[in-house]
A and B are shown apart, each in its own frame.
Chain A
Amino acid sequence: MEVLYFAWVRERIGLPRETVSTQAATVSALVDELKMREDRYAVAFADMSAIRVAVDQELVDLDAPLVGAREVAFFPPMTGG
């Protein structure tokens, strides 16, 4: 699936998007997998209360399922306007 990062999450991980091959069943399982990969993910995802998640461009909770998901995005709380 495509995994996208925005704002300081993008800066900490060091790239805007990547294709990730995963069997993770939920968003939080995907986060755990990524954190195991490299420190930069562990740093970006150290405090998940500061992270918002969208699956296929809809805001979801961390325990949301990933079955059939094409695109997952991680970002800080939004600050538009």
Chain B
Amino acid sequence: MVSRVQTEDFDLSAELAGLRKGRTDIGAIASFVGLVRGTAQGEAIDAMTLEHYPGMTEKALAEIEAQAHSRWSLQATLIVHRTGRLVPGDQIVLVAAASPHRGDAFAAAEFLMDFLKSRAPFWKKEGTRDGGRWVDARDSDAEALNRW
């Protein structure tokens, strides 16, 4: 269980290499990378600024990982979330789950993302030509938790 909040970018292959380094028991790693899109609600955006609650964020991420480990047979999990000012095309978030077989890895990676979206204290602000607007939480994100 590793989680990091950082402003700098991350390298997916280096992160996954670190996750399985020195291990021969892992059979599957599922990973997900979230990116900044260049449009929101049909409007071009030039930047996305992410804010978080230092202290609570780390606790919330550790709790989400612990829940995933209690539900599936996982050998390792990783969450890397960026904050600060990002631009379209930038990587925002990485989650990865390692397990002996693919089923648990796929399910856990999706679970980590679903919970991270509405339970970890991050907030996004989109920068548009007219200024900035805070991204509203989507009902579909809250509903995504119900299936778990």
Contact = CB atoms under 8 A, between A and B. Distances in A.
B44 interface: no
Contacts, number: 69
Given A79-B137, A81-B113, A4 B53 contact: yes
B66 to A, nearest CB: 14
Contact of B56 (A8, A57, A81): A57
Contacts of B118: 77-78, 80
B18 to A, nearest CB: 22
B51 interface: yes
A6 B113 contact: no
Interface string A51-81: 0001001110000000000000101111111
Nearest to A11: B134
Contacts of B141: 79
A78 B53 CA distance: 10
B43 interface: no
Q: In the complex, which of the residues A54, A76, A80 has the most CB atoms of chain B within 10 Å of its own CB atom?
A: A80
The interface residues of chain B, by DSSP majority, are classed as: mixed
Nearest to A56: B56
B1 interface: no
A7 interface: yes
Interface residues on B, range: 20 to 34
Contacts of A80: 50, 52, 81, 93, 116-118, 120-124
A62 B101 CA distance: 42
B123 A78 contact: yes
Contacts of B53: 4, 6, 54, 57, 73, 75
Interface of B: 34, 50-53, 55-56, 59, 81, 92-93, 113, 116-125, 134-137, 141-142
Interface of A: 4, 6-8, 54, 57-59, 73, 75-81
Given A54-B121, A75-B53, A78-B123, 6 more contacts: A54-B53, A58-B56, A78-B118, A78-B122, A80-B81, A80-B118
7 contacts: A7-B123, A73-B56, A78-B121, A79-B123, A79-B134, A80-B81, A80-B124
